Amino acid sequence: MAPIEDPLLLLRHSIASGGKIIPTTSPDSSEEAPLSRATHLVFTDPARVAVPIDAPTRFTSTEGKAVDVRSIYFAWLNRDFAIPEYNAVATKLNEEMTGGATVHMFAFVERLVLFTYLEGAQEESEFIRPLPGDKDGAAGAGTAATGAASKTAPAASGRAGRGTLDPRLAQIYSGERRMGDRNTALRGIKPTDFSHVRKLAAPFVTRKPGAAPSAGVGASATLALNQKPARRPDPIILLSPSASALLRMSNAKSFLEGGRYTPPDHSSTSTMLHVSRLVKDIDPSRPMRFILVEGPEQFKPEYWNRVVAVFTTGQTWQFKNYRWSNPSELFKHVLGVYLGWRGEEPPESVRAFGHRVLACSVEKWRDPGQPGAETSRWRDREVVETIWKSIEANMRAKGWRKDAAPSSI
């Protein structure tokens, strides 16, 4: 058996010349064995050389540790795998091996340097230590060229393409600077993932309204740079401005959003607020924002098409400035909601409005400091859900869509 040579040069030369590389269970065997049980790596070209499979090489990891022959050979066998796939097969091999042996899991940059070196496209690297006595680290290719005798040098074989090459010419070629390919020139820490750009471009890649899909594979959408996404109008809920109303601007948000009733703060001067609610039957992807106001003084005529509910105490003066000042006519177009105390009958005026007004009641307010005061508030959530279900049913009936309000109610 020929004396042991540098494993990296042996592997590089065998790849260039197409020689066989056989993992075996003994240095004299020629029967191929699984890497998990192999003890040697046998090279057949230019002469038969057996190298211990756990022998360290001149290739060092980012931690400064010498990588063994098995890890180098295993990485080359799986060079077409992406990093996650490579790590998976390496983990499986580690599980199959015994005695505490493991293969090194190469990082992206390590794999890139290793493969370009083994393919003959790179001579020097911070990961590859020079041969003993080699000051500039460039003698690797020259050693392979002279040690291969009548065979082609690894770096020169790709250039010559056929036949043998003069050793002196091979040494000259080995001193040239390799240009490499785009992988060696544009190497980095890891590949850049630009998948997030798809989400940023989605609002702009839309087909023009009324345009037929273009012919061809995929029928790609038109890039509408001058178009803005349609803005969904906000539904409007009118509250009662009466001082006797249980629901005012000061406590409406905590009640309709949080599901808990608290007495109104009559010193509040707020004139408008917003509450959010996910209306699954209209737009399951994003919550709808509802505008709450106590009067229509700032309304434009088209705003009335966005009114989805009117809270009332039964006092008709509330409707004086409404589009429909007659309650019977008003509640033909808009859902009415009355909120009173549990155990008390709604006023006669509310009952006279008919079934188009939803009558709800909450537990009477008790000072939180009193024993058992909090236990009575669990029904508030049930009342709130009843109100929202009625509002949502009315919105569907009036023609609300996720991107538009009805043209009339």
Q: What are phi and psi of 360, to 5 degrees?
A: -125, 155
Q: Tokens at residue 84, please?
A: 């996650």
Instruction: Compute the radius of gyration of the chain from its Cα atoms.
Output: 40
CA distance 400 to 409: 10
Q: Quick one: CATH architecture of 236-398?
A: 3-Layer(aba) Sandwich (3.40)
| CB-based contact 409:332 (threshold 8 Å) | no
Q: Tokens at residue 398, please?
A: 């009036």
Pairing of strands 335-341, 357-362: parallel
Q: What is the pLDDT, as a whole number, of residue 178?
A: 64
Nearest to 220 by CA among 206, 236, 234: 206
> Where are the domains positioned within the chain?
7-185, 236-398
Q: What is the pLDDT, as a whole number, of residue 313?
A: 93
Q: What is the pLDDT, as a whole number, of residue 190?
A: 57
Pairing of strands 66-68, 236-238: unpaired
Q: For the chain (length 409 residues), average pLDDT per consecutive 10?
A: 69 87 89 89 84 90 89 90 88 86 87 86 82 54 39 40 58 69 57 74 67 45 50 89 91 91 84 90 89 90 92 92 92 93 92 90 83 76 94 91 85
